[in-house]
Amino acid sequence: MKNHSLFEKYRSVIVSFRDVKDRKNLLLEDSGEERIYYAPFDYVNPEARLFIVGITPGEIQMNNMLVEAARLIHQGLSDDEVLRRCKAVGSFSGPMRKNLVELMDEAGIAEFLDVETTAQLFSNKQELVNLTSCIRYPTFAVKNGKESNFNAEIKQGTELFEFASTLTLEELSKAPNAVLLPLGPKVQHYLEKVVKGTQFENRLLPELPHPSGANAERIAYFLGRKNKETLSSRTNPEKLDNSKKNIKKILRSLKTKGSK
């Protein structure tokens, strides 16, 4: 099924959307252990120089995306315009966006893209970025019948990996000049498997700490707000230092090649 036809299929549900808790009419896949729902995260920016990749949209992002899509539909916009415009509103929305911007600026992403701050990627510089996830559509872990935001490894050889990787490769093919920025180690591990042997293998950056509030200590250290001596045993400062150093090294190399 083409992704655009997914939007057409669920358009009537989106138009009357009220509450993300009532999402059963948006169900795409149910494996018993995970449930995948539709929300209009379909648009891929072919001019993107940067792919920001999370694991999957969570409940907050799903809600924000659907609210905005319903609003744009009611304004009478075309399906293409709805898909394009609601992407920046729903993707990485909520409290994590501030952390994400600060992490990217610290890692040299703004300098690489020739912008003052990566906050502009969500406003007046959206043409530079494609906001996406390993699993494009909101996915929830299921335990004892209850759903929670999915935050596990996407294991190769599983139906979930096949579902996700097919969409990831399709997205990458539409933006061949993009650099990939994974948020967290699980995203990095997934992308390493998906892009192995492709032109994107050398355009995959080391991971940033995930911008979730649950990752506050790693974020604080990466941003220079917490000293190495005060870190708990859960945080590996050498890994974070190497990640920052290598992100900057790869970006400098790519920028040099691009300027020739």
Whole-model pTM: value is 0.90
Q: Are strands 129-133 and 139-143 parallel, antiparallel or unpaired?
A: unpaired
The helix (H) or strand (E) run that includes residue 51 is strand 50-54
Contact 141, 147 (CB under 8 A): yes
User: How confident is the model at residue 194, as a pLDDT?
Assistant: 97
Closest CA relative to residue 49, chosen from 113, 100, 103, 105: 113
Q: What's the confidence (pLDDT) of residue 1? A: 37
Domains in the chain, ordered, with CATH? 3-97+117-210 (3.40.470)
Q: DSSP secondary-structure letter at 25? A: G
pLDDT reported for residue 128: 95
Give the pLDDT of residue 259: 46
pLDDT value for 5:
84
**What pLDDT does residue 4 have?**
61
* Residues of the chain falling short of pLDDT 70: 1-4, 90, 258-260
6/11 Cα distance (integer angstroms): 8
pLDDT, one tens digit per residue, over 21-54 is 999 999 999 999 999 999 999 999 999 999 999 9
Sequential DSSP letters for 119-135: GGGGTTTGGGEEEEESS
Confidence (pLDDT) at 260? 44
Name residues whose C-beta falls within 8 Å of residue 202's C-beta, 6 or more positions apart in sequence: none
* Interior angle at CA 194, CA 100 and CA 138, nearest 5: 50
79-91, pLDDT tens digit by residue? 999 998 888 776 7
Q: What is the pLDDT of residue 89?
A: 77
